[in-house]
Every structure is written in C-alpha cells, then in structure tokens.
Amino acid sequence: MEATHETTYLELSENGGGSHKFYEVTVDGPTMTIRYGRISDAGQCKTTTFADAAKARAAAAKKIGEKVRKGYAPAVRGVRKKRGTSRRQIMNAQAAGTPAATGRHATRRAPVLWRYASGSAAFGIFIDDRVCMVGNEAGLITTLTHDAEVVQQVRLPDGVKCMVADDAWLYAGCDDGNVYDLSGKVPRLAYRISPDIDIFWLDIHDGILGVSDAGGSVVAIDHEDEFLWRRQGRGNAGWMVRCDADAVHHGHSGGVTSYDWRTGKELWHQSTGSVLFGWQERSTLYAGTSTRTVVRLRKDGGRERAYDCDAPVFSCATAEDGWYVFAGDNSGSIYCFDEAGTRLWKLATGCGAAYSMQYHGERLYIVTTDGSLACIDASEEAIRSAEHGSVPEVVDVKAPVRVETVVPSRTVEIVHDSNGGIVVECFEDRGHLRVRVASPGFHSDWRVQFPKEIRERGARYVVTEVRESGRGGFYRAYGDIHRLA
C-alpha cells in the first residue's frame, strides 16, 4: 500500500544574526500540516484538509518549492541548535529603553582616515604594532596593515564574537561555541565550550579562559579545556568579561561582579546599571552601560568616577592607564574624556555605532554595526580640525580579489626530523588525550596546551617552541606545528 504519511523538514540558518528558522510539512492522507518557527522552538501549526491525498501532496510540494527557492534546505531535526537572541538585538532592545538626549547627537564627523567594509556587523577587533584586524558576524576575519593594505582573511565556521590577545597568542571566539588559536599559519581549535552555553563574550589570561553567556552566567576554563567553575551571576545577561592574574571580572545586567579565578568565589560586586561592554587596565576596570555612562572601578571593587555620555554606551576603551577614556554610543557617536572625567570631544563616526574599539598610537580603531573597521585620527590637531568641520577624505579600502583566505584545519604537515623545534607527544590519561614535552630539558610531568582537533594517541609533533605559563605548571605550544614521522 502506498504510504500516505510523508514529512519534509527544512531549515534556513544564516550567519551574521540572520534567519534561524525551520519549516516542516507533513501530509497524512488528505490532510497537510505545516509547522514553522525558530529552530528548536515548538513553532506554530496550521492544518488544511483537501479533497484527497493527491491534492494534499500537490499543495505540500508547492509549499516546499517556495521555501527552497527562498534558501531553505533539507535538514535533520535536532542537529542544529537553538540560537540565542543576538547581542545586537538585545543591546538595541536595552538601548531603546534609554533614548539619546534630544538635540545632543554629534553633528561633526570624526577624522576617519580609512575604513574597510567587512560585509557584516562586526564585534571582533584586534590592533597591535603590526596589524589591524576585524572579525564579523559572517565568520570572516580580515587582517590589514596600518597603511590599510589587506593582507589576509580567515574564514571561521560561524560569527566571530571577539578577538583577544594573551601574551604572544591571539584567539577568536566563534558562534559555533569554539575558540580558535590564530597564532600559527592556520587557525587551530584551542577550546571547546559546552554546547549549553550561549556565549556572549570571552577573555583569556595566561591560558585561563573566562566566558560570559546569555543567561548571565560566567565560566572559567583551564588550559586543558576543563571547567574550573561556573557561577550564575547577579544579572540575567552578561557581555563584559575581563580576566587578569587574580580574577575574572563579569559585567552583566546587574552591574560588575569579580570572582577568584581559581575557585569562583565572589570577591566583590558593584551596581553600575546594565553593562554592555567593558575594558580593563592594570588596576582599573571600565564598564560601558545602558545608563549612558562609562563607570571606572578599582579592581578591589571601589567606584572611582563616571564618564557621562548622551546615549547608551556600546563600547569603551582607554589610552594606556586611562589617560584618555573613549566611548561609543548607540547613535553612532564617539567620545573622548580625560582621566578626571571631563568630556573633551564628541564626534560622529559616519559608519554606524561602534560595537568594539581600541586605541593605539594616537589612533582610535572601531568596528561597527555596518561592518566597518574604521581608523580615526585621535591626535589633538586632527580633532580640533574636525570640530571646526575640516576632516580628511576617507579612504575606502577594498579587499584584493586574490587575497589569501585560510580556514581552520585538522591537517598537519609531516616532517622527518625536528630541525631545532621542540618535540611533544600525545598520550592518553584517564580517557583524555594529553600532550607533554618529549625533548630534553623540560618538565616531563607538565602538560602542554595544544590544539584539540589534531591530537592523536601515540603521535609526536614538532612545534616552533613551548613557553612556560606565567603561573607555572604547564607549557603552551607556540608557532607552527608539524607531525613527526
């Protein structure tokens, strides 16, 4: 007998905070039932009865064809996980409750020297003496020189949440729940985050990873990718997380809370208003809030001062030791304050609101809601000219057609000798694959922080070098990795 019960399940999931929906059509005899909604939700149902099964199947085929033309594709139910509300949606919703002061929008434009359009809203930024990097919601990380030449692109599996440096290492947190080490020739998987954690932001210090999530929790994970602790914070969402040698500092809807990185014990809490993003210096924390201020805190929890803006603060950064404090609000304005809290200037970006920012060498770099990485001349002379309406012509940077693009890889090149590198070996310890140094002159009982996806029991590898962690007790692999034949 011909089967009359047929189900077709489709999904549409886009990077960059786009659609994340399912569409299911079931035909049972003359009845067609359509169920649709956000992936992993129950969704809504609509049932229609036709004259016979043939007409029901024909109607179902038409519906399925329409969805496929819109980008839906067959999928296996339950494989793709529910996506939390994006940071952009939540931030904008919070900001909507605190409108900018009427008539106080910046009318003069900041002296933008150049800008690069990454193609999607961008949260990730990293600037040092050599390069400028932007990571966007489509999973694309672009590296430019300070002279605005695109030199490389990295494609990660999902949206880039942030990029953070930890000594000589550079990591990218990705919406697939993983953290990738960008320090070598290709990205390598450094940390796997639990699938039940909807990551908002992360930071790393000396191999210890701090993660904030959509539910207001904060997690500390060690160099072996194992949880040290997990705590439910005082708020219901948290973006800011900053790690140092002593603590994990968590900014959330209820303020800023600091935890001992070893035990997770709460050290202090300070109410600041709902925190969006934060910055840290050696002895201070800066929390950008939806209550239109950047709050400066000592790392013992003491509140020092507030820097008042005209709209909810999406991002903040400082010059070294807080000599200048910068902020970006939800209306596309950026601010500069002196250390004492005096507002020095406010100007418009011209390319969206700054989701993240970093100051380097008298230049302020921002990544924005429209996906731009913009380089702003923050020198006193340039700002004074901008306040009088004189700004340089913006150079719009284009990526070369043949720019190198790399992706995470599990492939490891095989070599037949170490050639001066350090030999490490992979072994099994109580069901876990661990790595230790096999070359002489090192602690043989110390573990090595090493990419997760290329570990193979009994294999030996050659790495450029291993470095002792600042806390001691383990090594960190640095540079290129090859497998020793």
| pLDDT at site 450 | 95
| pLDDT at site 276 | 87
Identify the burial level of 263 via C-beta atoms within 10 angstroms of its C-beta, where 0-12 means exposed, 13-18 middle and 19 or more buried. Answer: exposed
Nearest residue to 120 via CA among 139, 137, 143? 137
98, two tokens: 């605190």
**Hey, what amino acid is at 3?**
A
Answer whether residue 104 shows pLDDT above 70: no
477, two tokens: 């692999």
Answer whether residue 101 shows pLDDT above 70: no
Answer whether residue 178 shows pLDDT above 80: yes
Every domain range in the chain assigned CATH 2.130.10.10: 91-406
Q: What is the mean pLDDT of residues 357-363?
A: 96
Give the right CATH number for 91-406 from 3.40.50.12780, 3.40.50.2000, 2.130.10.10, 2.60.120.10. Answer: 2.130.10.10
Nearest 5 degrees, angle CA 69-CA 72-CA 76?
145
% the chain with pLDDT above 70: 92
| pLDDT at site 426 | 97
**What's the whole-number average pLDDT of the chain?**
89
Q: What is the mean pLDDT of residues 428-447?
A: 95
CA distances from 106 to 190, 276, 334, 355 (A): 42, 21, 8, 17
**pTM of the predicted model as reported, rounded to 2 decimal places:** 0.79
Q: Which of 73-87, 130-144, 279-293, 457-471 is predicted least confidently?
A: 73-87
% the chain with pLDDT above 90: 66
Band of the pLDDT at 74, cuts 50, 70, 90?
confident
Band of the pLDDT at 380, cuts 50, 70, 90?
very high
| pLDDT at site 237 | 77
| pLDDT at site 4 | 60
| pLDDT at site 105 | 59
pLDDT in tens, 20-67: 889 999 999 999 999 988 888 777 888 899 999 889 888 888 888 778
Answer whether residue 84 shows pLDDT above 60: no
Answer whether residue 301 shows pLDDT above 70: yes
Alpha-carbon distance 177 to 181, whole Å? 14
Q: What is the mean pLDDT of residues 204-216?
A: 91
Q: Which of 52-66, 81-95, 255-269, 448-462 is predicted least confidently?
A: 81-95
| pLDDT at site 66 | 79
CA distances from 426 to 2, 180, 186, 436, 452 (A): 55, 20, 20, 7, 11
Nearest residue to 332 via CA among 104, 138, 140, 93? 104
Answer whether residue 397 shows pLDDT above 60: yes
Q: What is the mean pLDDT of residues 108-125?
A: 95
Q: What is the mean pLDDT of residues 186-206?
A: 86
Every domain range in the chain assigned CATH 2.20.140.10: 5-74
Alpha-carbon distance 445 to 387, whole Å? 61
Q: Is 182 within 8 Å of 170 (Cβ atoms)? A: yes
Superfamily of the domain at 5-74? WGR domain (2.20.140.10)
292, two tokens: 């239109």
Looking only at the bridges linking them, the beta strands covering 73-74 and 112-117 are unpaired
Answer whether residue 254 shows pLDDT above 80: yes
Strand arrangement of the beta sheet that strand 227-232 belongs to: 199-205, 208-213, 217-221, 227-232
SS (H, E, C) 253-277: CCEEEEEECCCCCEEEEECCCCEEE
